[in-house]
Amino acid sequence: MQEHFLETVRGWVREAGHIAVLTGAGVSAESGVPTFRDAQTGYWAQFRAEDMATEAGFRAHPEQVWDWYQHRRQLMDGVQPNAGHQALAQFQAAHPGRLTLITQNVDGLHQRAGSTGVLCLHGDLFANRWLDTPRNCCHIDDAVAGRPPTCERCGNQLRPGVVWFGEMLPLAVFEAAERAAQACDLMLVVGTAGAVYPAAGLAHQARSASARVVVLNPNPSELDGTADAVLRGTSAALLPQLLAA
Ligand code: APR
């Protein structure tokens, strides 16, 4: 049955003038990147994930939240893109302009695999920005080392450049993702539980615009009911099979 679906979806890939791909944490699972919740082991197990990913949590406990993101940055040491990331990058290189990659991941592995124009809906784990609107005195390179680094003049603090719960997505990035979802012939929804909006809504937008939607996930996802086909398997196994020339 799965083989049959795989062949059908391979046909849809060949036919599609434009493909949009929406990825989530599952794409990085086979690289060994712990998901948000899985990273909370040992010392970090005592904290609620939600308290580490809101502005209110950062303002209440800046040192603790800063250390948590430093911990997640360190967990990326030695991690490499896997066959799923590589298949997407190779398809983009072989078919310029045909595949738009939209990701909820902040780990940078798509870019390291060579993907271009990646629309990062939830920011970048390795970037920092000011918590409050920067003043003339706030220069990121001069921020005084600390946990978090701070402007020595006004006390403004650096925070990780990721989108926290309750925050707006970067508008230009999200608008570009919406355009891709609405213009594509095929959307692949890969390695995401499909539970976090507005990202998950892109699959509904693609469907409403008459694109085919295919979910790739070893487990049930909240977008299975929206999909024309669901392929049960891991992204590192399925993407190379689907996107091979
Ligand atoms: N290949 C493909 N999918 C996988 C694999 C794999 N090897 N391993 C796990 N998955 C699937 C899981 O079955 C699950 O559906 O990846 C999904 C991961 O779900 P989440 O951890 O909820 O990640 P995601 O959907 O990306 O979360 C969205 O929520 O935590 C916030 O901002 C954070 O960007 C994140 C957003």
State pTM to two decimals. 0.95
On whether both 144 and 67 belong to a single domain, the answer is yes
Per the structure, the complete domain to which residue 71 belongs is given by 42-75+128-162
Instruction: Single out the catalytic residue among 110, 122, 139, 204.
Output: 122
Report pLDDT for 3: 66
On whether both 48 and 100 belong to a single domain, the answer is no
| Intervals of the chain under pLDDT 50 | none
In a domain, 95, yes or no: yes
Q: Which atom of ligand 1 is nearest to the CA of 23?
A: 26
In a domain, 37, yes or no: no
On whether both 210 and 145 belong to a single domain, the answer is no
Tell me, yes or no, if 122 is annotated catalytic. yes
On whether both 11 and 55 belong to a single domain, the answer is no
Burial class (CB in 10 A: 0-12, 13-18, 19+), 156: buried
Report pLDDT for 171: 98
CA separation, residue 201 to residues 16, 174, 179 (Å): 21, 11, 13
Give the dihedral of Cα atoms 39, 82, 185, 18; nearest 10 deg. Answer: 120
**pLDDT per position as a tens digit, 61-71:** 999 999 999 99
The pocket around ligand 1, CB under 6 angstroms, is made up of 24-26, 29-30, 35-36, 104, 122, 191-193, 195-196, 217-219, 221, 234-235
Report pLDDT for 181: 98
**pLDDT per position as a tens digit, 98-138:** 999 999 999 999 999 999 999 999 999 999 999 999 999 99
Provide the domain count of the chain. 2
CATH of the domain at 144: 3.30.1600.10
On whether both 117 and 185 belong to a single domain, the answer is yes
